[in-house]
Amino acid sequence: MADLSINLAGIKSPNPFWLASAPPTNSGYQVQRAFEAGWGGAVWKTLGDPILNVSSRFAAISFNGQRVAGFNNIELITDRPLDVNLKEIYETKKRFPNHAIIASLMMEPKQEKWHELVKRVEDVGVDGLELNFGCPHGMAERGMGSASGQVPALVERQTYWVKEVAKTPVIVKLTPNITDITATAEAACNGGADAISMINTINSLMGVDLETWNTIPHVAGKGAHGGYCGPAVKPIALNMVAECARHANINVPISGIGGISNWQDAVEFMLMGATGVQICTAAMHHGFRIVEDMIEGLSHYLDGKGIKSVSEIIGKSVPKYSDWGNLDLNYNIVAKINTEVCINCNKCHIACEDTSHQCIDRLTDENGNGYLKVREEDCVGCNLCSIICPVDGAIDMVEVPNELPPMSWNERQTALSLAAECKIDIHK
Amino acid sequence: MEKIQRISTINLERNFQEVERALTSQEALEESNRCLYCFDAPCIKACPTGIDIPTFIKKIASGNLLGSAKTIMTSNPVGASCSRVCPTEELCEGACVLNHSTKPIMIGNLQRYATDWAIKNEQTLFEPGIPNGKAVAVVGGGPAGLSAARELARFGYKVTIFEAAEKAGGLNTYGIVSFRLPQSISYWEVEQVEKLNVTIQTNTRVGKDVPINDLLKDFDCIVLAVGMAHVPYLGIEGEDLEGVFDAIEFVKGTKSGKLTKDFVGKRVVVIGAGNTAIDGATCSVRLGAENVKILYRRTEEEMTAYDFEYEFAKQDVVEFRWLTAPKRIIGDESGKVTGIECIKMNLGEPDQDGRRRPNPVEGSEYVIPVDAVIKAIGQTRHLELIEALELLHDSGVVQVNKETYQTSNPKIYACGDVVFGKGNGDAMVVTAAQQGKLVAHSIYKQFKAAGVTQ
């Protein structure tokens, strides 16, 4: 069996699956249940001044009958006094010394307040700290959470303050509610962060009730934006992790968060540069027991590939992620429809006809049966038909050889500018 | 639409191919994602072996098929066979909470999908335990015996299975029709047990090929899992005629070597309406018989075949003659069956087992012309062996301590069909598998109490 243990900036855990700072990690009772179920670590629900909360806090998107495709909340940080949380962290760590407990912290941007909080929390024996610069609702209106996290200078300064006193590794949790997450990630690094984690939740409004015209959820007839998470946000999170992982000035470990529901998602995040992952929505949907399949599935995957340690896969796909300007313009794929698998729903035809490049023909064979065929010379390889096709294996996207050598936009522009300066000859 | 010819009289082999189509990977993915992954799920409780069904289904959804197969086979050492033969609508699928909202999850088919994957990918799912120096003899290599052997081997016991037939697997190998359970599935389960260093001595009948005293002497304990024997005599005239078959042997014949062409175009009656009767009837149809009738002295209400078996037989155009009992089998001068004389019955008061007792209707005799008669009126017990082992029993049903599964000889444990009957539960493959497991756990506990550490 492969070694699943990880070491994220000095924080060790028996496996890469941590519970994210969120409702599942609100108390010692919950975190201990999670560790019993097999979770490798937990980021304790954000500590700070005791907070009042509202009732009616969560909402979810069902997509065509599949529940919890996306999830949102307007809950705030911990609703329990700091000393109660600290006592339970101490007890939990004592019972589970080999599991990682990271305290999520939030504080108004004042140096001495941060210093005090860090010292008190580290005194109870946490393995690391995670600075919550991401919570998008409620706290942000008071200048904390994502209000800090959207300003690189504030991220850097507060990280610096924490690092002035912290003895354990400091993870900075970033908000996705920003144009370019690498700006704040870099700021965190400049402030001395030992690691970064992403993404926190995304600003969202889940819906409006057509009968009452109330927001979903609403609190006594009023709503406010909440933080969006769950399977639907995974591609956004994965991109942000990958962008940070490939950034020249961001050289700290990444804890990946955002829509991870199973071991396969976790592998994707790790391939894209995450050292470990944090999970919340999947646990809220199914309970802590889902970690059993995560651990086992990851282990079988690594064994199947002959990989000894999960650490070996970290970042392995990062070199494959680049800018559009580096993509080969001479690479061609076309759609091929396998008539014997096709069930003749004609969805590919109408999708291509109306919304792509009009290259899927409806034809009739000698027996009078309809079939679909791609005019390959007109196919641009957009993938649309294979994406919407409801049957596995009915449409393959296949590579077609191109006699031209690979050339990217960047190479093309370089070549053109050299030609303009008459340094090379252009024949084609 | 083109009419599919269900039965071929030319290509009999085709008739014996597995009837139920396997799920495609897309179907399996869609169905597994439909599972709610209930907590403390009723399907688990409804499974006699307690398979963690939501977990194995979740693992199909996540692409962890090896884990899925392990979850299944951990709880049920014959889980691949059971995915095909279990009366799922009466067990797991019947308990699925979605019965109350949409439609139940196809648990059996998903279980088959995961175990098929393990079979196809030649997975070895378990490791033998560290040897503890104790030896156990398992008499009978059917579902109960295999299950006991598998668990004992994982605990570190040195296990030897004594199997009278040419191959192990028992009912799964020989007794369940190929078109529901191909032999290859049963062989794979046997192989999984063999891989745990379990010795399987086939063609070995205890009490004949191996003296009972040797067993008692050479092993620390014995697990008796011999199942049941042949179909009993009807006790009517003509039973020895050519063309009268024991249903168990008849089905076994369709699973051993080449299929006979002797039934093509023939008229067959099957006596009885249990699981084996249905198997005998549908096998006859698939061997090309022109007409197959099931004679049963009670009615549809009392028959012990499952609903799905009844439906399956009707789709195979098996005819049912209720309230009909055989009176004598008629043969020609060469000793071949030519007909069966039947008598009509009516139902009286319920008897000891709660079923209404059938009574003959005077003067209602009539003759059905037939070429073959298949007897499927239950099975006899291995009385001789049970007596030779000097075990307490009730007409061949071995008495066991309900907690420890020990017989009247504490060194001998028993499980499976040999203890079923007489109000001791249903004789399903899955219950036999569970008993095998429980016997192994009981042996483990007894030895642990006696200081065996492994």
| B151 and B179 fall within a common domain | yes
pLDDT tens-place string over residues B226-276: 999 999 999 999 999 999 999 999 999 999 888 999 999 999 999 999 999
Residue type, A100: A
pLDDT category of residue B426 using cuts at 50, 70 and 90: low
pLDDT of B98? 97
pLDDT tens-place string over residues B132-169: 999 999 999 999 999 999 999 999 999 999 999 999 99
Query: B66 to chain A: nearest residue by CA?
Result: A300
pLDDT of A48? 87
Reduced to 3 states (helix: H, G, I; strand: E, B; else coil), residue B42 is helix
CATH number at residue B96: 1.10.1060.10
pLDDT of A139? 73
pLDDT tens-place string over residues A1-46: 899 999 999 999 999 999 999 999 999 999 999 999 999 999 999 9
**Average pLDDT, integer, range A409-415:** 94
| B300 and B409 fall within a common domain | no
DSSP per-residue codes, B81-95: HHHHHS-GGGTHHHH
**Average pLDDT, integer, range B54-59:** 98
Check pLDDT > 50 for residue B2.
no
B1 part of a folded domain = no
B8 part of a folded domain = no
Smallest CA-to-CA distance from B139 within B45, B204, B69, B89 is with B204
DSSP per-residue codes, B233-274: P---BTTTSBTEEEHHHHHHHHTSSSPPSTTTT-EEEEE--S
Phi–psi pair at B406, nearest 5 degrees:
-80, 140
pLDDT category of residue B37 using cuts at 50, 70 and 90: very high
| CATH label, A324-400, candidates 3.30.70.20, 2.60.40.3120, 1.10.1200.10, 3.30.300.30 | 3.30.70.20
Asked whether the beta carbons of A394 and A342 are under 8 A apart, the reply is yes
DSSP per-residue codes, B340-394: EEEEEEEEEEE-TTSSEEEEE-TT--EEEE-SEEEE-S-----HHHHHHTT--EE
Distance separating alpha carbons of residues A259 and A235, to the nearest angstrom = 8
Residue type, B121: N
Q: Shortest Cα distance from B66 to chain A (angstroms)?
A: 7
Give the CA-trace dihedral at B179, B182, B183, B187, to 10 degrees.
Answer: -160
**Average pLDDT, integer, range B205-231:** 95
| B390 and B356 fall within a common domain | no
Distance separating alpha carbons of residues B198 and B141, to the nearest angstrom = 11
Phi–psi pair at A39, nearest 5 degrees:
-60, 140
| B173 and B101 fall within a common domain | no
pLDDT category of residue A146 using cuts at 50, 70 and 90: confident
pLDDT tens-place string over residues B4-23: 567 888 899 999 999 999 99
DSSP state of A271: H
Among candidate residues B120, B150, B184, the one where a domain is terminated: B120
pLDDT of B451? 84
| B358 and B435 fall within a common domain | no
A405: its two tokens: 């050598």
pLDDT of B16? 94
pLDDT of B3? 43
Percent of chain A with pLDDT strictly greater than 70: 99
Nearest by CB to B25, from A290, A300, A392: name it: A392
Check pLDDT > 60 for residue A151.
yes
**Average pLDDT, integer, range B121-130:** 95
Q: Do domains A6-320 and A324-400 have the same CATH topology?
A: no
Average pLDDT, chain A: 95
What residues of A are in contact with residue B30 (Cβ under 8 Å)? Answer: none
What's the number of domains chain B is made of?
A: 3
To test the contact with chain B by mutation, choose from A262, A292, A293 the residue with the greatest count of B C-beta atoms within 10 A, namely A293
A171 Cβ neighbours under 8 A, 6+ residues apart: A8, A9, A11, A102, A128, A129, A130, A131, A193, A194, A195, A196, A197, A255
pLDDT of B1? 36
pLDDT tens-place string over residues A173-185: 999 999 999 999 9
pTM for the model? 0.92
pLDDT category of residue B89 using cuts at 50, 70 and 90: very high
CATH number at residue B286: 3.50.50.60
**Average pLDDT, integer, range A389-405:** 95
Check pLDDT > 70 for residue A425.
no
B239 part of a folded domain = no
| B297 and B181 fall within a common domain | no
Q: Which of A135, A244, A342, A389 is catalytic?
A: A135
Nearest by CB to A293, from B25, B26, B59: name it: B59
B241: its two tokens: 């005629």
pLDDT of B359? 93
Determine the length of chain B: 454
Domain of residue B307: give its range.
244-375
B62: its two tokens: 């996540």
As a CATH number, domain A6-320 is 3.20.20.70
DSSP state of A388: H
Percent of chain A with pLDDT strictly greater than 90: 89
A56 Cβ neighbours under 8 A, 6+ residues apart: A217, A218, A219
Nearest by CB to B62, from A264, A391, A392: name it: A264
Task: Please tell me the least confidently modeled range out of B76-85, B149-158, B425-434.
Answer: B425-434
A165 Cβ neighbours under 8 A, 6+ residues apart: A114, A115, A118, A119
| B262 and B345 fall within a common domain | yes
User: Given an 8 Å threshold on Cβ–Cβ distance, is B63 in contact with A293?
Assistant: no
Cis, peptide link before residue A109, omega less than 30° from 0: no
pLDDT of B427? 77
| B89 and B194 fall within a common domain | no
**Average pLDDT, integer, range B54-58:** 98
Among candidate residues B354, B375, B396, the one where a domain is terminated: B375
**Average pLDDT, integer, range B97-125:** 97
Name the residue ranges covered by the structural domains of chain A. Answer: 6-320, 324-400
A248 Cβ neighbours under 8 A, 6+ residues apart: none
Asked whether the beta carbons of A407 and A328 are under 8 A apart, the reply is yes
- Three-state SS string over A22-51 comes to CHHHCCHHHHHHHHHHCCCEEEEEEECCCC
pLDDT category of residue A426 using cuts at 50, 70 and 90: low
Distance separating alpha carbons of residues B341 and B329, to the nearest angstrom = 6
| B289 and B196 fall within a common domain | no
Asked whether the beta carbons of A106 and A48 are under 8 A apart, the reply is yes
Based on the residue annotation, tell me whether A389 is a catalytic residue of this protein: no
| B168 and B188 fall within a common domain | yes
**Average pLDDT, integer, range A206-225:** 96
| B249 and B363 fall within a common domain | yes
| B223 and B343 fall within a common domain | no
Among candidate residues B353, B375, B397, the one where a domain is terminated: B375
Asked whether the beta carbons of B278 and B307 are under 8 A apart, the reply is no
Burial label, B322 (beta-carbon count in 10 A; 0-12, 13-18, 19+): middle
Q: Does B59 touch chain A (CB under 8 A)?
A: yes
Query: B56 to chain A: nearest residue by CA?
Result: A293
Reduced to 3 states (helix: H, G, I; strand: E, B; else coil), residue A357 is coil
pLDDT tens-place string over residues A245-270: 999 999 999 999 999 999 999 999 99
Q: Shortest Cα distance from B169 to chain A (angstroms)?
A: 29
pLDDT tens-place string over residues A273-311: 999 999 999 999 999 999 999 999 999 999 999 999 999
Nearest by CB to B64, from A263, A287, A289: name it: A263
DSSP per-residue codes, A286-303: H-GGGHHHHHHHHHHHHH
Q: Does B98 touch chain A (CB under 8 A)?
A: no
